[in-house]
Amino acid sequence: MFFQAGHPDYNDMQQFDKHLYVVSCGFQHIDTKDITTSRLNGHGDYHILYLTKGKGNFLINNQECVVEAGTIVFYNYGDSHKYTYYAKDDTCVYWIHFNGDFAKELIIDLIFETSSTIKIGTNSFLCECFENIINELNYKPSMYFKSCCGNLITMLSYIAEIRNDLNQKKCSHADDFAYIISLMNKNEDSHMQVEDYANICHLSKSRFIKNFKQFTGLTPIEYKNQIIIKKAQYLLRSTDLSISEISDLLGFESASYFSTLFKKYVHQPPKAFKQLSINS
């Protein structure tokens, strides 16, 4: 069994960026002993694994599945997870944990809201990203925290591009969905319903939801909510509008529902988010 991992030095606060940081990153070759990792109550960061050889038994969204080599596994913040590697499968896997205030926004931007898997095959560039982060964390050269963040953003963006390409190849309504997404980003879209989007694509509501999720990784409501929450974050950070005024501006029926939805996606109420933005 071979194991290599790197962790940042949290005493080095000058280089530490609370907005986005790598908690740990490593590589493991399991060939002599079975290994099980179990965090059924979830974990306080985001977690990505990339199997380059062998396979593993995973619990993802409370569903058990076998993950083959060439597959990326993404565990969202707080999601329950468990995975087992058997020595007989001779498995090799890269992994990374990351966190920070900006991590949530980054995950939303790159359409990684739910724990999921992505089959990408052998990819040397992705392995290189992992290796770069491991080396930075182990040797800790000047500005290594920022270098790790740069490699992490490159990695996530690259995975998102692969996922988008794969989904568009599978989806016969790719152009329609690209148009739907552009509508969702416009203010005048606020009163459109899922049925309206389905009619644009000439699909039933259920078929539209299924295909849209295949294309983006999210349901239409989830995707639209995240766009709205991103707008709310921008307004909270960059204006002196009250929470009630922002709620009205974004079309919510009440400030209390806006606060509930905001907390669901950002893991803190809008008042706390605004205060943190002012102090940072």
Per-residue pLDDT tens for 232-255? 998 998 888 999 999 988 888 899
- Look up residue 90 and give its two tokens: 């001779």
Q: What distance, in Å, lies between the first and last C-alpha atoms of the chain?
A: 44
Q: Do domains 2-168 and 174-279 have the same CATH topology?
A: no
**Which range has the top average pLDDT, 23-32, 103-112, 146-155, 265-274?**
23-32
Read off the pLDDT band of 182 (50, 70, 90): confident
Tell me the CATH class for 2-168: mainly beta
User: Hey, where are the domains in the chain?
Assistant: 2-168, 174-279
Average pLDDT of the chain, as a whole number: 86
DSSP 8-state secondary structure symbol assigned to residue 217:
S
Percent of the chain with pLDDT over 90: 35
pLDDT score, position 279: 66
Q: In the sheet that 2-6 helps form, which strands lie side by side, from edge to edge?
A: 2-6, 21-30, 91-99, 46-53, 71-75, 116-119
Q: Check: CB of residue 125 under 8 Å from CB of residue 58.
A: no
Instruction: Check pLDDT > 50 for residue 263.
Output: yes
**pTM summary value:** 0.62
Q: Which CATH superfamily is domain 174-279 in?
A: Homeodomain-like (1.10.10.60)
